[in-house]
Amino acid sequence: MNSSSTDIFNFEEFLKRMMDDRELAQIILGKFREDLPGKLVELEKHIDGNDFRQVASLAHLIKGEAANIGADLMSRSAYSLEFAAKSGNMEEMKSASVILHENARLLVKSLEEKSI
């Protein structure tokens, strides 16, 4: 799948949401990066435990947070995971989780390349 860098992370759009306050943007992105690994670990724990409700809830949270910072690709993959969990489809849920983790990796790489 080919994705543009703005699908992975659109800093300009995020900065607009922050009313061009770069310091606030840095704080929010820092907190997002700090919290993301723990959320992904927790997500896997719930997938391994077949806890569809918790997977859907956490995927929904990640979806919103990713959308808020302009990480559209990650937001869309979290939505796919949320939908699979709500549908009770374990195979799709596991597949969507792999894609979400990859998109999270791409996002972190993009933030590092931009020194954010």
Q: pLDDT tens digits, the chain, 116 residues: what are they?
A: 445 666 789 888 899 999 999 999 999 999 999 999 999 999 999 999 999 999 999 999 999 999 999 999 999 999 999 999 999 999 999 999 999 999 999 999 988 887 77
The predicted pLDDT at position 82 comes to 98
The predicted pLDDT at position 114 comes to 77
- CATH number for the domain whose boundaries are 5-113: 1.20.120.160
Tokens of 58: 């956490």
Q: How far apart are CA 8 and CA 93, in angstroms?
A: 21
The predicted pLDDT at position 4 comes to 61
Q: Where are the domains of the chain?
A: 5-113
Tokens of 31: 């907190």
